[in-house]
């Protein structure tokens, strides 16, 4: 089952629009443009974005950033014996 998550690979601010685009299989730029238009003409969507950025979980299954993994830490700092 797919979950609606913030994107790790396609993010500008927090990954909300990228996550929505991945979930619905849309172009992320289109989602961002629609979100900006709704923010400019409605005003409410800025609060929806902030709430979504807080509530939506991060998608760690597509994370290619291993800076904080234990394997990376130990391979870089403890193999100098």
Residue ranges of domains in the chain: 16-77
Q: Say yes or no to pLDDT of 80 above 70.
A: no
Q: Are 6 and 57 in contact (CB under 8 A)?
A: yes
Cβ neighbours of residue 2 under 8 Å, at least 6 residues apart?
23
Q: Please tell me which residue, 7 or 34, carries the higher pLDDT value.
A: 34
Cβ pair 57, 5 in contact under 8 A: yes
Q: What pLDDT does 76 receive?
A: 53
Asked if pLDDT for residue 66 goes beyond 60, the answer is no
At residue 61, does pLDDT exceed 60? yes
pTM over 0.85: no
- Average the pLDDT over 43-57 and give the result: 84
């Amino acid at each position: 089952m797919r979950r609606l998550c913030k994107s790790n690979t396609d993010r500008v601010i927090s990954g909300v629009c990228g996550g929505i685009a991945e979930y619905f299989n849309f172009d992320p730029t289109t989602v961002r443009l629609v979100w900006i238009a709704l923010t400019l003409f409605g005003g409410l969507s800025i609060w929806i974005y902030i709430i979504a950025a807080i509530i939506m979980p991060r998608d760690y299954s597509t994370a290619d950033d291993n800076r904080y993994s234990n394997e990376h830490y130990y391979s870089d700092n403890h193999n100098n014996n």
